Every structure is written in C-alpha cells, then in structure tokens.
Amino acid sequence: MNHQLAKELMQRYFAGETSLAEEKELRTYFQSENVDPTLQPYIPLFRYWEVERAVVAPRRPTKTRRLPRILLAIAAALLLVLVARFAQLSTAPAVTAFPVAERQPVDWSRYEVTDEGEALRILKAVLKTTSEKMKQGPAITLRELREVEEILD
C-alpha cells in the first residue's frame, strides 16, 4: 500500500466510512516498517489492538452452590411476605374498638326548619350571599381582562 492511499484511508477511517477489509489493510500497513512519517503517530493505535487481542482474562474459580440463587431469592421473598402478614394480623385493632367506626343513624329532623320566619331568614341570607358572589364575578373578570391587556400592550 502506498502512502497516499494510506492517508486517504485514515481520513475515511476517522470519518467512520471504511470497510472491514480496508481497516485490515490499514493494520497491515501500520505493522510494516515502511510507514509515512506523517502517519507515525497512528502506529500505537493500530498496534494496540494487536497487543490487546493477545490478552486473556484470568478465570475465576467457580463455587459450587447447593441451591441456585433463584430458589434462595424466592424463599427469602416468601418468608418476608409471611412475616409481614403475621405482623399485620397481630397488630391490627378490631374495627369495633373505635367508637367512631360504629355506624350511628343521623337524626335529620334536628336540622329541619319548622318555623316559617326562620326559613325566610335563612333564604334571605342564602340569596344575599349568592347575589354578592355573582356581583364579584364580572368585576374579577374585568380586572383579569385589564391585566391581560396590559401584558399584551
């Protein structure tokens, strides 16, 4: 391979456009002794992979286990669920222990208005409150519209 072709392949290599065959040619070129001086800095890059390819990771000794991990995990989860359920049953108070929880009928007749004068007074109060709230609605709307106009201007 000539030096010009090697330079072109290096440009394509760094752009990620080389094929596997072209990269093999580059590795062969950089392993030779006839490398262009401008491409000398790339020699360690291509020789690195050759050195690292020869490295073999040491094997770890395998331990023999009596039960697979999945069975141990299932047993632990089951034990945890059983303990949680037992704790919940033993500490949960009975519903009847709370007087609030007992159902008591409501005597609605206590809240019923029987006097006409009282009913008229309550009705006037309700209508007055409703009228005041309805009068506030347009004022609030106009105020918010003015704020929007100020923001838009």
Which tens digit of pLDDT belongs to each residue from 100-129? 656 778 888 888 888 899 999 999 999 999
Residue 118: alpha-carbon gap to chain centroid: 59
First to last CA, the chain: 72
Which tens digit of pLDDT belongs to each residue from 25-41? 888 888 888 888 888 88
Contact indicator for 8, 25 with CB cutoff of 8 Å? no
- Alpha carbons within 13 A on the beta-carbon side of 100: 0
Q: pTM for this one?
A: 0.36
Q: Which amino acid is at 140?
A: I
Q: Domain coordinates of the chain in residue numbers? A: 3-53, 115-153
Q: Which of 46, 2, 40, 39 is nearest to 23 (CA)?
A: 46
Which tens digit of pLDDT belongs to each residue from 54-99? 788 788 777 666 667 888 889 999 999 999 888 877 776 666 656 6
